[in-house]
Amino acid sequence: MLNNAKQQIKKALHAMGIEAHRFHPGTSPLARQMVALRAFGVDVVLDIGANDGQYAKELRTGGYAGHIVSFEPLTAAHCYLLQKSKSDPRWQVHPRCALGDRTGEIELNIAGNSVSSSILPMLATHSNAAPESAYLGHEPVSLITLDSVAPSYIEGAQAPFLKIDTQGYEWHVLDGALATLPRLRGLQMELSLVPLYEGQRLWRDCIDRLEAEGFVLWSLQPVFVDPVNGRTLQWDGLFFRP
């Protein structure tokens, strides 16, 4: 009787587009990440491509209490980020900028859904799967390297962690972090299975590079799926240095 009731509840939730799971590493991506961050003693997170703070808020919801430093290039998103971080003394927002492999100025393409904004041109594979992500305009932004700013943020940290969500520009961020990568205990990065942005590196190249840097692939989580055919287009990869 109890199992039948559970099945009916699940069926009703699925009809509303909702799926409920226990907050447990076996069923929850956030729970898996929290367990890993605790296991490796992560005490500062560099959040590159923070948008308006979704990732930082999720970490706090999951129980992470350490330092967070967020980086965001979009003007509107950066303003939201500053507002959301005001009440959190351990959450710092870097001045608006993009992260890459050099310093200078660059144009950022602004997506309709904000989170898909990128320095790189968007390909049809992406816009067809998510029409709301199509570019609406662009804006200039300063480009810096992580190596130029990371030392002041991770000085004294025992286990720094880097999250990169730059919509195809991840390889360039890594190129600008050559001195920082050896100091990291862990890293989270978007890994595209198919080209979504012009000129981006795909998942095999990224995993090979990070493994050569001494990181081990810890877990994978689908983050972008084509709703028409169910094909996974992008993963979040979690890596740690054992």
List, for residues 59-117, the tens digit of each pLDDT value.
999 999 999 999 999 999 999 999 999 999 999 999 999 999 999 999 999 999 999 99
Contact predicate 43/158, CB 8 Å: yes
- Share above pLDDT 70 across residues of the chain, in percent, rounded to a whole number: 89
Distances (CA, A) of 203 to 176, 192, 197, 206, 221: 19, 5, 13, 5, 13
Helix-, strand-, coil-residue percentages of the chain, each rounded to 5:
35, 30, 40
* Residues 117-141: tens digit of each pLDDT: 999 999 999 999 999 999 999 999 9
- Report the alpha-carbon distance of residue 131 to residue 140 in Å, rounded: 24
Secondary structure letter of residue 118 according to DSSP:
B
Mean per-residue pLDDT over the chain, rounded: 92
What's the whole-model pTM score?
0.90
pLDDT band at 237 (very low <50, low <70, confident <90, very high): very high
Tens digit of each residue's pLDDT (9 = 90 or more) over 21-58: 565 667 788 899 999 999 999 999 999 999 999 999 99
The predicted pLDDT at position 30 comes to 87
Task: Please report the domains of the chain, with CATH numbers, ordered by start residue.
Answer: 1-34 (no CATH), 40-240 (3.40.50.150)
Q: Are 65 and 90 in contact (CB under 8 A)?
A: yes
Whether pLDDT at 13 is above 90: no
